[in-house]
Chain A
Amino acid sequence: MRRGNYGYFLLVLLIFNLFFLSCSSQNKNQVLIWHWMTDRNQAFQKLAKEYEKETGVKVRFEIFFPPNVYAQKVQAAAQAGTLPDIFGILGEKEYLASFVRRNLVVDFSPYFEEKPAWKESFISQALEVSSFSKDNIYRVKAGIYGIPIDFMNIQFLYNKELFKKAGLDPNYPPRNFAEFIAQAKLLHQKLGVEGFICGWGETWLMYSLALDFAFNIMGEKKVLDTFRGKYSYNSPGWVKVFSLFRQMKEAGIIPEGILTMANKEAEEIFANQRAAFSFNGSWCVNVYQKLNPQLNYAPCLIPEVSSAYPRKIWGGAGASFMVNAHSPRKEAAVKFLEWLTQKKQQDFLIRVTNNLPAIKEAPDNLGLVLKEFRKGIDYVTHPNLWPVYEKPKVIEKFTQQLQKVILGEITPAEAAAAVEKVKLRIIKKD
């Protein structure tokens, strides 16, 4: 490089520094919202414009993606005290509890006391996801710290078109586990499609299905007692849970790569009619709509394993917004969330994003599949709603053992025993 070039380079550097780089724009008179929901971003922008037209208050939605980076951003902003007016918290309930402990999020309880109708408008489970009751295990002040904007649950899905092709009644999904295995096997053998597909590479999906089965086999009390350390993973109920996964494998209805499959991949396979059954959340309606608008499918509850206890499915608030407790625009932020969760706005969000609404009032424009999903509300449960939670190390061991059972490396009894061993070790340590 010649000497003249260095001078030029330094000059450019100086100009950029002085005139361009250090300007930071921040409008003090607008409500700023951070979120990670790419599927809802356009809808949010429209709603923000609508709100400004109605009230004169400016609202700005800023999206940050992917979700794990968004979560880091929120964490960093919490540390530095630069959280926006409204934001979402991703992660376990303990993580939300840490925000409550540091007094970073607004408790909506006083607002709900003032406007009980607003609180009553929500599906209770959706609200409970971000709520803490008195004497909660997280040891934080009781209150409601998030406003749900939609609702979700995870169910079985079956392809009606493939059912027809295989000579099965498309309005007759399996009611029990034996029927499910038989139908999936028939569809696999007759049509050459996968019997069942799911993104079990994301182990939480496998774990949630296992817990659904556990609730049905043993009932809620025994499952939660297991987490408390009062009921053994060695019990026949848990062994049965492991054996159901083995049965699926032995029936040949799950593909080889299922244990490393991302849910996105599983969604593509189901959307392209290459699998008869799937296990997925209500968010899938939007995904399938994009991948294959012609897909003819329906959700159904998990196939019943036992009639002794009611079936349960994972569900709750799909996404919730929190208000920054230190924001000077706190009141404006709460008002915006109240507006966002009114029926008109919820109807709009459903139409655009194909998610279930967080409010009880039946929406005008719910599609057939979402209507079926909505029926699952009465069966919903979620770790965030339980008074006790299982230790992450036990969950990790549990999913590892499930994988080994599916691969045929160990028996269900051996898997249960290994999980119990870890559980006992943790109890002893505590």
Chain B
Amino acid sequence: MDKAKKAFLLTLMHTFLISVAVSCIFPLVWMIMSSFKTYQEFIQIPADINTWRGFLHWFLPHKFNLANYISAWRDGNLGMYFLNSVIYTFLAVSGIVFVSSLAGFAFSRLEFWGRDFIFHLFLAAMMIPIPAGFVPLFVLLTRIHLVNTRLGYILAMINVGLSLSIYLFKTFFDNLPRDLEDAARIDGCSKLRIWWNVAFPLAAPATGVVIIFNALNVWNEFILAVIIFADKSKLPLQAGLMEFAGEHIGNEPLIMAGLTIAALPIIVVYLLMQKHIIKGITAGAMVG
């Protein structure tokens, strides 16, 4: 009886999980499949679509046609935007990891006046919706002559990612055994060297989580970029993609090729970092 109940529950759970997985993966696979189709192929809906044969005929491209990718890359100038996005993502995420790991360490290990108040201020910043801060951020960047500069955008993106990252690092450092730190202190390490030589290397799982969260955020961001930059040549991939999609309204296969180009790098980053994410979560990076 118990065995039957267990099997039933397992089946139920797996059915649920499979359906969630399919609903998450289907749009992605559909996007990739559509990107290989011609426009005529894309708009054709077979009469027997309700059968498996008809569905597959509709879903799969008749031929893997790369023309959409070539056109999206060349006409949409996606190469330039792609490079910008790589630079912004790399530098913004590096900056976030650097600053937030230091800040997280300080909030966790150092005693200073107003520590908890400042930390709670950072937590409060997480509650403010990002678009609400765009106009004041733009005004600030204008005042310090960083509007329409790559540096201004990167600093803004570092600022956007700090709150959550500091919180993650602080939580992780709180759970690190103090004995390691004491041993380093006996060896003559200063506080900064303890962070550099002991705490930060041990925080690799938390760093993984911070990297993937922020890489996703910076890579997919375009609203702030459109607001800050006046030169098109500085825009990131997502902004270029928006414009490209606007110029090719109706040509879905071409737009899907552009979307695939934009999505692939971040999927690769996710796959590379997923081991750390799991570790980070299980090691307590996400515990409150």
Number of interface residues of A (CB under 8 A): 44
- CB-CB < 8 A to A290: which residues of B? 249-251
The complex places the Cα of A343 from the Cα of B150 at a distance, in Å, of: 41
Per DSSP, chain B at the interface is helix
Asked if residues B242 and A65 are in contact (CB atoms below 8 Å), the reply is yes
Complex Cα distance, B151 from A32, in Å, reads 22
**Is A73 an interface residue when CB atoms closer than 8 A count as contact?**
yes
Q: Considering the chains assembled together, what is the distance between the CA atoms of A65 and B81 in angstroms?
A: 14
CB-CB under 8 A for A41 and B247, given A9-B94, A65-B242, A69-B227:
yes
Main secondary structure of the interface of A (DSSP, over half): helix
Query: Which B residue sits closest to A291, measured CB to CB?
Result: B250
> Which of chain A's residues have a CB closer than 8 A to the CB of B251?
290
Q: Quick check: B223 and A82 within 8 Å, CB to CB?
A: no
Q: Is B95 an interface residue (CB 8 A)?
A: yes
Residues of B within 8 A of A272 (CB): 43
Task: Please tell me if A75 contacts chain B, counting CB pairs below 8 Å.
Answer: yes
- The residue that B243 contacts in the complex, of A24, A38, A79, with Cβ under 8 A, is A38
Partner of B226, one of A25, A38, A64: A64
Cβ–Cβ < 8 Å partners of A80 in chain B: 138-139, 142-143, 147
> For residue B98, which residues in chain A have a CB less than 8 angstroms away from its CB?
13
How far in angstroms is the closest Cβ of chain B from A127?
27
A390 at the interface (CB under 8 A from B): no
For residue B88, which residue of chain A has the nearest CB?
A: A21
Closest Cβ neighbor of B148 among chain A residues: A24
Q: Is the CB of A79 within 8 A of B246?
A: no
Q: What is the size, in residues, of chain B's interface with A at 8 Å between Cβ atoms?
A: 41
**Hey, which chain A residues are within 8 Å of B148, CB to CB?**
24, 26
Task: Given A22-B151, A80-B147, A264-B249, check contact A32 B227 (CB 8 Å).
Answer: no
Q: Is A116 an interface residue (CB 8 A)?
A: no
Q: Which of B95, B222, B250 touches A69 (beta carbons < 8 Å)?
A: B222
- The total of Cβ contacts below 8 Å across the A-B interface reads 104
Shortest B261–chain A CB gap in Å is 17
Question: Which residues B234-269 have CB closer than 8 A to chain A?
Answer: 239, 242-243, 246-247, 249-251
B149 at the interface (CB under 8 A from A): yes
Q: Which residues of B contact A77 (CB under 8 A)?
A: 138
Contact of B43 with A72 in the complex, beta carbons under 8 Å: no
Closest to B141 in A: A80
Give chain A nearest CB distance to B130 CB in angstroms. Answer: 12
Is there an interface contact between B147 and A82, defined as CB atoms closer than 8 Å? yes
- Residue pair A76, B95 in contact (C-beta under 8 Å): no
The docked-state distance in angstroms from the alpha carbon of A26 to that of B147 is 11
A-B contact sample (9 more), CB < 8 A, given A21-B151, A22-B150? A21-B91, A22-B152, A38-B243, A38-B246, A39-B246, A41-B247, A66-B246, A69-B222, A271-B250
Sample (30) of A-B pairs whose CB atoms are under 8 Å apart? A3-B197, A13-B94, A16-B87, A17-B151, A21-B91, A21-B154, A22-B146, A22-B149, A22-B151, A22-B152, A24-B147, A39-B246, A39-B247, A39-B249, A62-B231, A64-B243, A65-B243, A70-B226, A72-B223, A73-B226, A76-B227, A79-B139, A80-B138, A80-B142, A80-B147, A82-B142, A272-B43, A287-B249, A290-B249, A291-B250
B-side interface residues toward A, CB under 8 Å?
Answer: 43, 87, 91, 94-95, 98, 131, 134-135, 138-139, 142-143, 145-152, 154, 196-197, 201, 204, 222-223, 226-227, 230-232, 239, 242-243, 246-247, 249-251
